[in-house]
Structure 1
C-alpha cells in the first residue's frame, strides 16, 4: 500500500462460498484460505464431456439442465500445502458418490445421460457450450436464444492475445476470485421486487455487507480490497452476467427477468469487450490469507 493512500472501510464479510465442482452447488463456509490462485479448493473439479472434449457447465442448459441440482463438498477441509481431499457429490435424491470412487464417472454419466468424466485439469482448449437466452442487450455480440462455443480460462486469454490471470489447467471462467455486495442485491430487489435476487444465483466467493447505496462494486475496479488481517485482492474487472443467474436451483425458480433487470439497470462497459449486464467484480489475489465471516473489508 502506498504511503498516504486513502483507506475506506466499506463493510464486512457477510458470506463465503467455495464451489469444489464447477457449476454444482457449493459450500457456504465460516472461513476460507485465500491463496494466490483464489479460494483454496474452489473450482477444483469439473465434468468433461468425453464425446465433445468440452468442459461441462450449467450454461450448457440444453445438455446439462440438472447440473445445479447437484451439490459438492470436500469430505474434509483442504489445507494449504497438502493434497486436496476427495469431494462428495450429492444428487437431488440424496444419493452420493465420491471423487475417489472407481464408480464416479459411471455414476455421473448415468445421471446426466452423457459420457462424462470428473476432471481435475481443464483441457488446453478450455471450451464450453454457452446458451444465450432471448434477452435483448445481454450479449454485445447480439446472440439470443442460441448456443455458442465459448473459450474460457487461459484459453480465452490466449485467444484474446492477453496474459492470463488464471493458470493453464484451472477451471475458472475468467479470474480466480469474485466479490459481490449486499447493496447490489438490495438495489436489484428494489428495482424488480417480483424476482428473487438470491446470492446463490451469482455464485460469488465473497459477499460483502455494505451500506453504500446502489451497485457499489462498480467503483472498485482498479482498487485494492483488504479482507481481514492479511488477504488483499486487486479488483480487475466488472463481472459480466449470463444465463447462470436465471437458472432454477434449490428452491429458486427459473427467471430470465433476473438478467433483464441487470440489462436495464447495470449494463456497463467491460474493458474493450463491449457492454454487459454486470453484478459484482472479478479480482486477482495480491496477498494470501485467511478470511472469516465478520472480517472488515477496506478499499484503497
Structure 2
C-alpha cells in the first residue's frame, strides 16, 4: 500500500489543493479545514444542513490555498484575497447571495467526522464497476469524496472496512488509527472542479455499502507524510 494523493481543504466546503507533502498532528493535516464560511446565525457553510452546518450552494465555485496567517481564496474569475480580508467576505457573500464572513476554527473542529479521512483505489474501482465511472470511460473521480489521503490498494472492493481500530503507519513517522466508516451525503454527486453533476453515486453507495465510503482516522503519532510514502500495519 502507498499514498498516491494528499488533499487538504484550507476553507471547509470550498475546493482545495493537492499537495506533495503535509505535516500531520492530532488535529489532522496542517491547515485542513481550519477556516470556514459563517453566516449571521453562526452556522458554517457546507453541502448539507445539520445542527452546526448550513448548505450554501456555490461554495464549490471557490478554491482555497493554504497560506499564513490566513488562506488565500480564489473567486471564479481568478481574483484572489486573504480569508481575513473583509472585502473578500463581501465578494463571497455576493457569490453566495447571503451575508457571510470567513472565520478560523475555535473550540470545535470544522471536520464533519474526524481528523484524517482516507479512501482507497480498490474502493474507487468497485464503485466504478457499480456505476460505470465518469463520462468518457474514466473511473470515479476521487476528488468527489474530499478525502485527505488516497491510498493505492490492489484489487476491487472495500478493504478499508477491515482497517478499523488497526494502527496504520504512513511513512517513517505517522501512525493513524482508522476509527469509523465515513457516511456520505449528496455532496459526492455535486459538480465540483473537473467532476460533473451526477445523480447515481450516493444511491449506489447506499444500496451496496450502507451509505458509507472510506474511513476516518485519529492520529496516534504525528509527523510528515509525502506521496512517496508506503503504508503498513504498525
- Aligned pairs, number: 227
Alignment counterpart, residue 58 of structure 1, candidates 39, 47, 50: 47
CA separation in 2, counterparts of 1:102 and 1:248? 28
Structure 1 or 2, whichever has the larger Rg, is: 1
CA distance in 2, matches of 1:185, 1:226: 22
Q: Secondary structure at the match of 1:103?
A: helix
Q: 2:105 aligns with which of 113, 116, 121?
A: 121
Distance 2:55 2:182 in 1: 25
Q: CA offsets per residue over residues 170-206 of structure 1, 9 Å max, x none?
A: 2111211101100000111112115462111000001
Q: How many angstroms apart in 2 are the aligned matches of 1:181 and 1:85?
A: 33
**TM-score w.r.t. structure 1 length?**
0.72
SS at the partner of 1:265? helix
User: Could you list the per-position Cα deviations for residues 7-43 of structure 1 after superposition, in whole angstroms to 9, with x for gaps in the alignment?
Assistant: xxxx100000110000000010000001111000000
Which residues of 2 match residues 114-153 of structure 1 at below 5 A? 114-121=98-105
Aligned to 1:132: none
Report if the CA contact (8 A) 1:74-1:85 is conserved. no
- Aligned match of 1:202 in 145, 161, 169? 145
2:213 is the counterpart of 1:295: no
Partner of 2:219: 285
2:198 to 239, 244, 255: 255
Q: What is the CA deviation profile of residues 197-224 of structure 1, one whole-angstrom value per residue up to 9, with x for unaligned ones?
A: 2111000001001114311101111111
What does residue 47 of structure 1 align with? 37
Name the Cα RMSD after superposition: 1.8
Partner of 1:179: 118
Q: 1:102 and 1:115 mapped to 2: Cα distance? A: 12
User: Could you tell me how far apart the structure 2 residues matched to 1:294 and 1:178 are?
Assistant: 18
Q: TM-score, normalised to structure 2's length?
A: 0.91
Aligned to 2:83: 99
Query: Could you list the per-position Cα deviations for residues 58-101 of structure 1 after superposition, in whole angstroms to 9, with x for gaps in the alignment?
Result: 225x96221111100024xxxxxxxx432111111212221232
Which one of 149, 155, 161 corresponds to residue 218 of structure 1? 161
Q: 1:108: how far off?
A: 1.7
| Runs of at least 5 residues in structure 2 that lack an aligned partner in the other structure | none
Equivalent residue number for residue 28 of structure 2: 38
Question: Does 86-95 or 219-228 show the bigger shift?
Answer: 86-95
